[in-house]
Protein backbone atom coordinates (compact mmCIF):
# COMPACT_ATOMS: atom_id res chain seq x y z
CA UNK A 1 0.00 0.00 0.00
CA UNK A 2 1.48 3.30 -1.00
CA UNK A 3 0.09 5.33 1.83
CA UNK A 4 2.58 8.15 1.33
CA UNK A 5 0.89 9.12 -1.92
CA UNK A 6 -2.73 8.47 -1.07
CA UNK A 7 -5.34 10.52 -2.84
CA UNK A 8 -7.48 10.39 0.27
CA UNK A 9 -6.16 9.69 3.72
CA UNK A 10 -8.64 9.56 6.58
CA UNK A 11 -7.39 9.39 10.15
CA UNK A 12 -9.24 8.92 13.46
CA UNK A 13 -12.50 9.96 11.87
CA UNK A 14 -15.21 10.23 14.49
CA UNK A 15 -18.74 11.30 13.70
CA UNK A 16 -21.32 11.81 16.39
CA UNK A 17 -24.98 12.81 16.41
CA UNK A 18 -26.95 14.28 19.25
CA UNK A 19 -30.19 12.41 19.67
CA UNK A 20 -33.01 12.41 22.20
CA UNK A 21 -31.32 9.41 23.80
CA UNK A 22 -27.95 11.12 24.08
CA UNK A 23 -24.83 11.12 21.93
CA UNK A 24 -24.67 8.51 19.21
CA UNK A 25 -21.22 7.70 17.86
CA UNK A 26 -21.80 6.44 14.32
CA UNK A 27 -18.12 6.36 13.32
CA UNK A 28 -15.59 5.91 16.07
CA UNK A 29 -12.02 6.87 15.27
CA UNK A 30 -11.47 5.02 12.00
CA UNK A 31 -8.68 5.25 9.42
CA UNK A 32 -8.73 4.43 5.72
CA UNK A 33 -7.14 5.62 2.51
CA UNK A 34 -7.76 5.55 -1.23
CA UNK A 35 -5.07 5.82 -3.88
CA UNK A 36 -5.50 7.15 -7.39
CA UNK A 37 -6.97 4.53 -9.68
CA UNK A 38 -7.80 2.26 -6.79
CA UNK A 39 -11.17 0.95 -5.58
CA UNK A 40 -11.56 0.66 -1.83
CA UNK A 41 -14.75 -0.96 -0.58
CA UNK A 42 -16.17 -0.32 2.85
CA UNK A 43 -18.28 -3.32 3.82
CA UNK A 44 -20.29 -4.24 6.86
CA UNK A 45 -23.82 -4.88 8.01
CA UNK A 46 -26.53 -2.26 7.95
CA UNK A 47 -25.90 0.38 10.61
CA UNK A 48 -22.11 -0.17 10.75
CA UNK A 49 -21.43 3.46 9.85
CA UNK A 50 -20.43 3.06 6.20
CA UNK A 51 -22.61 5.89 4.90
CA UNK A 52 -21.79 8.22 7.76
CA UNK A 53 -18.06 7.57 7.26
CA UNK A 54 -18.12 8.38 3.55
CA UNK A 55 -20.48 11.33 3.93
CA UNK A 56 -18.16 12.75 6.57
CA UNK A 57 -15.36 12.96 4.00
CA UNK A 58 -16.93 15.95 2.28
CA UNK A 59 -19.22 16.83 5.19
CA UNK A 60 -22.39 16.28 3.22
CA UNK A 61 -24.22 15.09 6.33
CA UNK A 62 -25.92 17.28 8.78
CA UNK A 63 -24.40 16.58 12.19
CA UNK A 64 -24.71 19.68 14.42
CA UNK A 65 -24.93 19.76 17.37
CA UNK A 66 -23.05 16.46 16.79
CA UNK A 67 -19.75 16.71 14.95
CA UNK A 68 -17.17 15.29 12.60
CA UNK A 69 -13.65 15.06 14.02
CA UNK A 70 -10.31 13.69 12.86
CA UNK A 71 -8.41 14.33 9.65
CA UNK A 72 -9.57 13.90 6.06
CA UNK A 73 -6.54 14.64 3.95
CA UNK A 74 -7.38 14.94 0.27
CA UNK A 75 -4.34 15.62 -1.89
CA UNK A 76 -2.64 16.88 1.23
CA UNK A 77 -5.40 19.28 2.33
CA UNK A 78 -7.48 18.57 5.44
CA UNK A 79 -11.07 18.85 4.27
CA UNK A 80 -12.32 19.04 7.85
CA UNK A 81 -10.48 22.27 8.50
CA UNK A 82 -10.78 24.24 5.25
CA UNK A 83 -13.44 26.96 4.91
CA UNK A 84 -16.89 25.89 3.72
CA UNK A 85 -16.45 27.84 0.47
CA UNK A 86 -13.33 25.84 -0.39
CA UNK A 87 -15.00 22.62 0.60
CA UNK A 88 -17.92 23.40 -1.67
CA UNK A 89 -15.49 23.61 -4.56
CA UNK A 90 -13.95 20.27 -3.71
CA UNK A 91 -17.43 18.73 -3.58
CA UNK A 92 -18.38 20.22 -6.90
CA UNK A 93 -15.32 19.49 -8.90
CA UNK A 94 -12.99 16.98 -7.29
CA UNK A 95 -14.98 14.51 -5.25
CA UNK A 96 -18.26 13.25 -6.69
CA UNK A 97 -20.90 11.14 -4.94
CA UNK A 98 -23.41 8.71 -6.33
CA UNK A 99 -26.11 7.08 -4.23
CA UNK A 100 -28.45 4.15 -4.08
CA UNK A 101 -31.58 5.79 -5.44
CA UNK A 102 -30.98 7.77 -8.61
CA UNK A 103 -34.63 8.79 -8.79
CA UNK A 104 -34.30 10.69 -5.52
CA UNK A 105 -31.28 12.60 -6.77
CA UNK A 106 -32.94 13.62 -10.04
CA UNK A 107 -35.34 16.39 -10.74
CA UNK A 108 -38.43 14.90 -12.34
CA UNK A 109 -39.50 18.13 -13.95
CA UNK A 110 -36.50 18.52 -16.22
CA UNK A 111 -35.13 16.43 -19.05
CA UNK A 112 -32.02 14.42 -18.26
CA UNK A 113 -30.13 16.29 -20.95
CA UNK A 114 -30.98 19.58 -19.30
CA UNK A 115 -29.85 18.27 -15.92
CA UNK A 116 -26.48 17.08 -17.21
CA UNK A 117 -25.99 20.32 -19.13
CA UNK A 118 -26.83 22.34 -16.05
CA UNK A 119 -24.31 20.36 -13.99
CA UNK A 120 -21.70 20.90 -16.68
CA UNK A 121 -22.21 24.63 -16.89
CA UNK A 122 -21.79 25.00 -13.15
CA UNK A 123 -18.25 23.69 -13.60
CA UNK A 124 -17.23 25.05 -16.93
CA UNK A 125 -17.78 28.21 -18.79
CA UNK A 126 -19.07 26.64 -21.98
CA UNK A 127 -21.74 27.68 -24.47
CA UNK A 128 -25.11 25.94 -24.51
CA UNK A 129 -24.16 24.19 -27.70
CA UNK A 130 -20.84 22.92 -26.36
CA UNK A 131 -22.52 21.82 -23.17
CA UNK A 132 -25.10 19.86 -25.14
CA UNK A 133 -22.43 18.15 -27.20
CA UNK A 134 -20.49 17.26 -24.09
CA UNK A 135 -23.63 16.04 -22.29
CA UNK A 136 -24.55 13.76 -25.19
CA UNK A 137 -20.97 12.50 -25.23
CA UNK A 138 -21.16 11.70 -21.51
CA UNK A 139 -24.53 9.94 -21.94
CA UNK A 140 -22.93 7.93 -24.68
CA UNK A 141 -19.92 7.07 -22.52
CA UNK A 142 -22.05 5.80 -19.69
CA UNK A 143 -23.86 3.53 -22.12
CA UNK A 144 -27.15 5.30 -22.91
CA UNK A 145 -28.02 4.01 -26.38
CA UNK A 146 -29.00 6.68 -28.94
CA UNK A 147 -27.86 9.34 -26.52
CA UNK A 148 -28.66 12.34 -28.70
CA UNK A 149 -32.25 11.24 -29.21
CA UNK A 150 -32.65 10.51 -25.47
CA UNK A 151 -31.33 13.94 -24.49
CA UNK A 152 -34.79 15.50 -24.23
CA UNK A 153 -36.41 12.61 -22.37
CA UNK A 154 -37.55 12.93 -18.77
CA UNK A 155 -36.25 10.76 -15.91
CA UNK A 156 -39.41 8.60 -15.83
CA UNK A 157 -38.69 7.52 -19.41
CA UNK A 158 -35.53 5.72 -18.27
CA UNK A 159 -35.17 2.41 -16.45
CA UNK A 160 -33.56 2.21 -12.99
CA UNK A 161 -30.24 1.09 -14.46
CA UNK A 162 -30.31 3.87 -17.07
CA UNK A 163 -31.08 6.43 -14.37
CA UNK A 164 -28.05 5.27 -12.42
CA UNK A 165 -25.98 5.60 -15.62
CA UNK A 166 -27.21 9.17 -15.95
CA UNK A 167 -26.30 9.91 -12.34
CA UNK A 168 -22.84 8.57 -13.11
CA UNK A 169 -22.67 10.89 -16.14
CA UNK A 170 -23.60 13.80 -13.88
CA UNK A 171 -20.91 12.77 -11.40
CA UNK A 172 -18.35 12.80 -14.20
CA UNK A 173 -19.07 16.28 -15.55
CA UNK A 174 -16.30 17.75 -13.45
CA UNK A 175 -13.81 14.98 -14.18
CA UNK A 176 -13.50 14.06 -10.48
CA UNK A 177 -10.43 12.41 -9.03
CA UNK A 178 -12.42 10.57 -6.39
CA UNK A 179 -15.83 9.00 -6.80
CA UNK A 180 -17.69 8.02 -3.67
CA UNK A 181 -20.36 5.47 -4.48
CA UNK A 182 -22.79 4.49 -1.73
CA UNK A 183 -24.62 1.26 -2.62
CA UNK A 184 -25.10 2.47 -6.21
CA UNK A 185 -26.30 -0.90 -7.45
CA UNK A 186 -28.34 -2.11 -4.49
CA UNK A 187 -31.68 -1.06 -5.98
CA UNK A 188 -30.94 -2.77 -9.32
CA UNK A 189 -31.43 -6.35 -10.42
CA UNK A 190 -28.38 -8.56 -10.57
CA UNK A 191 -27.75 -8.33 -14.32
CA UNK A 192 -28.03 -4.55 -14.40
CA UNK A 193 -25.91 -4.37 -11.26
CA UNK A 194 -23.10 -6.27 -12.98
CA UNK A 195 -23.29 -3.92 -15.97
CA UNK A 196 -23.06 -0.83 -13.80
CA UNK A 197 -20.07 -2.26 -11.92
CA UNK A 198 -18.38 -2.97 -15.21
CA UNK A 199 -19.12 0.55 -16.36
CA UNK A 200 -17.57 2.00 -13.20
CA UNK A 201 -14.52 -0.15 -13.74
CA UNK A 202 -14.12 1.10 -17.32
CA UNK A 203 -14.68 4.71 -16.33
CA UNK A 204 -12.17 4.40 -13.52
CA UNK A 205 -9.46 3.59 -16.05
CA UNK A 206 -10.58 6.27 -18.43
CA UNK A 207 -10.90 9.02 -15.82
CA UNK A 208 -8.08 7.75 -13.55
CA UNK A 209 -10.31 8.04 -10.50
CA UNK A 210 -10.02 6.58 -7.08
CA UNK A 211 -13.29 4.99 -6.02
CA UNK A 212 -14.56 4.66 -2.47
CA UNK A 213 -17.38 2.17 -2.68
CA UNK A 214 -19.85 1.38 0.08
CA UNK A 215 -21.81 -1.83 0.11
CA UNK A 216 -23.10 -4.55 2.39
CA UNK A 217 -23.03 -6.98 -0.54
CA UNK A 218 -19.85 -9.05 -0.58
CA UNK A 219 -20.65 -10.34 -4.07
CA UNK A 220 -20.35 -6.78 -5.35
CA UNK A 221 -17.12 -6.33 -3.42
CA UNK A 222 -15.55 -9.39 -5.03
CA UNK A 223 -16.32 -7.89 -8.41
CA UNK A 224 -14.82 -4.45 -7.98
CA UNK A 225 -12.61 -4.00 -4.92
CA UNK A 226 -8.85 -3.69 -4.83
CA UNK A 227 -8.84 -3.26 -1.09
CA UNK A 228 -11.50 -3.84 1.54
CA UNK A 229 -12.22 -2.15 4.85
CA UNK A 230 -14.57 -4.19 7.04
CA UNK A 231 -16.58 -2.01 9.41
CA UNK A 232 -18.70 -3.04 12.35
CA UNK A 233 -20.52 -0.76 14.78
CA UNK A 234 -18.45 2.30 13.92
CA UNK A 235 -15.07 0.55 14.07
CA UNK A 236 -12.79 -1.15 11.55
CA UNK A 237 -12.56 -4.89 12.21
CA UNK A 238 -10.24 -5.86 9.41
CA UNK A 239 -8.69 -4.56 6.22
CA UNK A 240 -6.69 -6.01 3.39
CA UNK A 241 -6.60 -6.72 -0.33
CA UNK A 242 -9.64 -8.35 -1.87
CA UNK A 243 -7.74 -11.63 -2.17
CA UNK A 244 -6.62 -11.58 1.47
CA UNK A 245 -10.10 -10.86 2.71
CA UNK A 246 -11.86 -13.47 0.60
CA UNK A 247 -9.26 -16.23 0.71
CA UNK A 248 -7.79 -15.70 4.12
CA UNK A 249 -10.04 -13.59 6.34
CA UNK A 250 -8.76 -13.27 9.89
CA UNK A 251 -11.33 -11.49 11.99
CA UNK A 252 -14.23 -13.68 13.17
CA UNK A 253 -16.62 -10.97 11.95
CA UNK A 254 -15.23 -11.07 8.43
CA UNK A 255 -15.36 -14.84 8.48
CA UNK A 256 -18.96 -14.85 9.60
CA UNK A 257 -19.92 -12.34 6.93
CA UNK A 258 -18.35 -14.56 4.30
CA UNK A 259 -19.84 -17.73 5.73
CA UNK A 260 -23.30 -16.29 5.11
CA UNK A 261 -22.61 -16.32 1.37
CA UNK A 262 -23.95 -19.25 -0.66
CA UNK A 263 -20.44 -19.72 -2.17
CA UNK A 264 -19.22 -20.58 1.32
CA UNK A 265 -22.10 -22.88 2.08
CA UNK A 266 -24.23 -20.20 3.72
CA UNK A 267 -27.89 -19.57 3.10
CA UNK A 268 -27.47 -15.94 2.15
CA UNK A 269 -29.08 -14.91 5.45
CA UNK A 270 -27.28 -12.71 7.93
CA UNK A 271 -25.19 -13.27 11.03
CA UNK A 272 -27.44 -14.16 13.99
CA UNK A 273 -27.93 -11.37 16.50
CA UNK A 274 -27.87 -7.61 16.08
CA UNK A 275 -25.47 -4.68 16.21
CA UNK A 276 -24.95 -3.07 19.61
CA UNK A 277 -26.76 0.14 20.51
CA UNK A 278 -24.58 2.95 19.09
CA UNK A 279 -25.44 5.11 22.11
CA UNK A 280 -23.87 2.58 24.43
CA UNK A 281 -21.43 0.26 22.70
CA UNK A 282 -19.96 -2.66 24.68
CA UNK A 283 -16.45 -2.52 26.16
CA UNK A 284 -13.70 -4.32 24.31
CA UNK A 285 -14.29 -5.60 20.82
CA UNK A 286 -17.62 -4.36 19.47
CA UNK A 287 -18.25 -7.76 17.92
CA UNK A 288 -17.57 -9.74 21.12
CA UNK A 289 -21.26 -10.08 22.13
CA UNK A 290 -21.92 -11.97 18.85
CA UNK A 291 -18.56 -13.71 18.54
CA UNK A 292 -18.34 -17.43 19.29
CA UNK A 293 -14.64 -17.02 20.16
CA UNK A 294 -15.03 -14.16 22.61
CA UNK A 295 -13.17 -14.51 25.89
CA UNK A 296 -12.95 -12.28 28.91
CA UNK A 297 -10.12 -10.26 27.33
CA UNK A 298 -12.40 -9.45 24.39
CA UNK A 299 -14.95 -7.81 26.65
CA UNK A 300 -12.77 -5.28 28.43
CA UNK A 301 -10.99 -2.08 27.51
CA UNK A 302 -11.10 -0.56 24.05
CA UNK A 303 -11.51 -2.07 20.60
CA UNK A 304 -8.21 -3.98 20.14
CA UNK A 305 -5.45 -2.23 18.19
CA UNK A 306 -5.29 -3.40 14.59
CA UNK A 307 -2.51 -5.95 14.17
CA UNK A 308 -0.75 -6.66 10.89
CA UNK A 309 -1.50 -10.33 10.34
CA UNK A 310 -0.09 -10.52 6.82
CA UNK A 311 1.57 -7.84 4.73
CA UNK A 312 -1.12 -5.26 4.06
CA UNK A 313 -3.75 -7.13 6.06
CA UNK A 314 -4.72 -6.01 9.54
CA UNK A 315 -7.25 -7.28 12.05
CA UNK A 316 -8.60 -5.77 15.24
CA UNK A 317 -9.01 -8.94 17.28
CA UNK A 318 -7.64 -9.91 20.68
CA UNK A 319 -6.67 -13.35 19.39
CA UNK A 320 -4.16 -11.89 16.92
CA UNK A 321 -2.86 -9.31 19.38
CA UNK A 322 -0.03 -9.44 21.91
CA UNK A 323 -0.36 -12.60 23.96
CA UNK A 324 -3.28 -13.83 21.82
CA UNK A 325 -3.54 -17.22 20.20
CA UNK A 326 -4.75 -17.08 16.57
CA UNK A 327 -5.50 -20.80 16.60
CA UNK A 328 -8.46 -20.02 18.88
CA UNK A 329 -10.28 -18.51 15.91
CA UNK A 330 -9.08 -21.13 13.46
CA UNK A 331 -5.72 -19.49 12.67
CA UNK A 332 -4.96 -19.56 8.97
CA UNK A 333 -7.60 -22.07 7.99
CA UNK A 334 -10.71 -20.79 6.35
CA UNK A 335 -13.28 -21.73 3.76
CA UNK A 336 -14.57 -24.93 2.26
CA UNK A 337 -11.43 -27.01 1.73
CA UNK A 338 -9.05 -24.06 1.89
CA UNK A 339 -9.41 -22.70 -1.66
CA UNK A 340 -12.64 -20.78 -1.70
CA UNK A 341 -12.93 -19.69 -5.28
CA UNK A 342 -15.26 -16.90 -4.19
CA UNK A 343 -13.21 -14.39 -6.09
CA UNK A 344 -13.70 -15.76 -9.56
CA UNK A 345 -11.30 -15.45 -12.44
CA UNK A 346 -13.46 -13.32 -14.72
CA UNK A 347 -13.96 -10.44 -12.34
CA UNK A 348 -11.15 -8.00 -12.52
CA UNK A 349 -9.74 -8.20 -9.07
CA UNK A 350 -6.26 -8.21 -7.79
CA UNK A 351 -3.99 -6.79 -5.19
CA UNK A 352 -3.96 -3.04 -4.67
CA UNK A 353 -2.01 -1.11 -7.30
CA UNK A 354 1.10 0.28 -5.78
N1 LIG B 1 -28.61 11.82 10.93
C2 LIG B 1 -28.48 10.89 11.86
N3 LIG B 1 -28.86 11.10 13.12
C4 LIG B 1 -28.71 10.15 14.08
N5 LIG B 1 -28.19 8.94 13.86
C6 LIG B 1 -27.80 8.65 12.61
C7 LIG B 1 -27.91 9.61 11.54
N8 LIG B 1 -27.43 9.03 10.41
C9 LIG B 1 -27.03 7.79 10.75
N10 LIG B 1 -27.24 7.55 12.06
C11 LIG B 1 -26.90 6.33 12.80
O12 LIG B 1 -25.53 6.06 12.60
C13 LIG B 1 -25.30 4.66 12.50
C14 LIG B 1 -24.59 4.35 11.20
O15 LIG B 1 -25.48 4.58 10.12
P16 LIG B 1 -25.05 4.43 8.60
O17 LIG B 1 -26.18 4.93 7.77
O18 LIG B 1 -23.73 5.04 8.37
O19 LIG B 1 -24.93 2.85 8.45
P20 LIG B 1 -24.59 2.03 7.13
O21 LIG B 1 -23.45 1.13 7.47
O22 LIG B 1 -24.43 2.93 5.97
O23 LIG B 1 -25.89 1.12 6.98
P24 LIG B 1 -26.73 0.70 5.66
O25 LIG B 1 -26.04 -0.49 5.09
O26 LIG B 1 -28.07 0.37 6.22
O27 LIG B 1 -26.76 1.86 4.74
C28 LIG B 1 -26.66 3.99 12.65
O29 LIG B 1 -26.83 3.62 13.98
C30 LIG B 1 -27.62 5.11 12.28
O31 LIG B 1 -28.86 4.93 12.90
NI1 LIG C 1 -25.50 3.22 4.25
Assigned domain for 324 exists = yes
Q: For every one of its 354 residues, what pLDDT tens digit does the chain have, with 9 covering 90 and above?
A: 444 569 999 999 999 999 999 999 999 999 999 999 999 999 999 999 999 999 999 999 999 999 999 999 999 999 999 999 999 999 988 999 999 998 888 999 999 999 999 999 988 899 999 999 999 999 999 999 999 999 999 999 999 999 999 999 999 999 999 999 999 999 999 999 999 999 999 999 999 999 999 999 999 999 999 999 999 999 999 999 999 999 999 999 999 999 998 888 888 788 999 999 999 999 999 999 999 999 999 999 999 999 999 999 999 999 999 999 999 998 656 765 444 444 543 433 333 333
Cα 146 to averaged position of ligand 2 atoms, centre (Å): 34
Helix segments in 45-83, DSSP class H: 50-57
Nearest CA to ligand 1 atom 30: 47
Nearest CA to ligand 1 atom 31: 47
Assigned domain for 265 exists = yes
- CA proximity to 221, closest of 352, 100, 347, 46: 347
SS3 content of the chain, % helix, strand, coil (to 5): 35, 20, 45
Assigned domain for 294 exists = yes
Nearest CA to ligand 1 atom 4: 17
Assigned domain for 74 exists = no
Q: Report the number of distinct structural domains present in the chain.
A: 1
Assigned domain for 291 exists = yes
Assigned domain for 320 exists = yes
Assigned domain for 298 exists = yes
Q: Which domain holds residue 295?
A: 249-273+280-329
Amino acid sequence: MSDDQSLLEVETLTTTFSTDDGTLTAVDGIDFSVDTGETVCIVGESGSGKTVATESVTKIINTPPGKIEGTVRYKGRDLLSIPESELRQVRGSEIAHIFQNPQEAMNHCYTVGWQITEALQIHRDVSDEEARTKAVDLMDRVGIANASSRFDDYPHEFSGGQKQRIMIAMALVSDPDLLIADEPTTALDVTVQAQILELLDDLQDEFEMGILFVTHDLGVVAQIADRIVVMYAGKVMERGSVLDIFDNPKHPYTRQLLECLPEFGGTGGGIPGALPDPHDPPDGCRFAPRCEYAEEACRTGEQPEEVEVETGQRASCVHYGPGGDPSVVGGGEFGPGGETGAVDGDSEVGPADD
